[in-house]
Amino acid sequence: MRRLAYLIAVVGCACAPPHVTAVRDPAGARRFEIIDAGDSTFKFIVAGTPWVRGGDVGVAVDPRRRDALVARFVVQTRVADTATALITGQTARVTATHVALLDAPRRRPLAQRAFWWGVFTGGVLGAGTALVIRGL
């Protein structure tokens, strides 16, 4: 009986989905049009994205050169539909032909469906294993 319980526990662990982490890359980032660029700051349009706020970190790229890195920046302020960013490092001068890239914030684990499926599956497997061990 104990061997059966051990076998069920091992099979249950083997069937559990692996932990997958999302890779944060520029291909999945949101693009924003740069409307005004200066020496150390630039402004870009953030209409329709309420999650952009001061302190967010992003990169500016050149879409004509296959998204070559132009600069790294930190968002300083947001006023209505326009954000101002401070350039923290650059490889070329930022112009209005470039675009700003920012990652959207991740959803909390409790708001994701995969989390609740894991809780449900773990509960069912745990309860089943406990019943087998007790001999019910």
Domain assignment of residue 119, yes or no: no
**Residues in the chain where the model's pLDDT stays below 50:** 18-24
Domain assignment of residue 54, yes or no: yes
Rounded distance, CA 92 to CA 101, Å? 16
Domain assignment of residue 86, yes or no: yes
Report the domain count for the chain: 1
CATH code (residue 95): 2.40.30
Q: For 12-40, give one letter per residue: b (16+ CB within 10 A) or e.
A: beeeeeeeeeeeeeeeebbebebeebeee
What pLDDT does 23 receive? 28
Domain that includes residue 83, residue range: 21-105
Domain assignment of residue 130, yes or no: no
Q: What are phi and psi of 112, to 5 degrees?
A: -100, 140
Domain assignment of residue 118, yes or no: no
Q: Identify the CA nearest to 102 among candidates 39, 50, 65, 66.
A: 50
Domain assignment of residue 47, yes or no: yes
pTM of the predicted model, to two decimals? Answer: 0.62
- List, for residues 85-98, the tens digit of each pLDDT value: 999 999 999 999 99
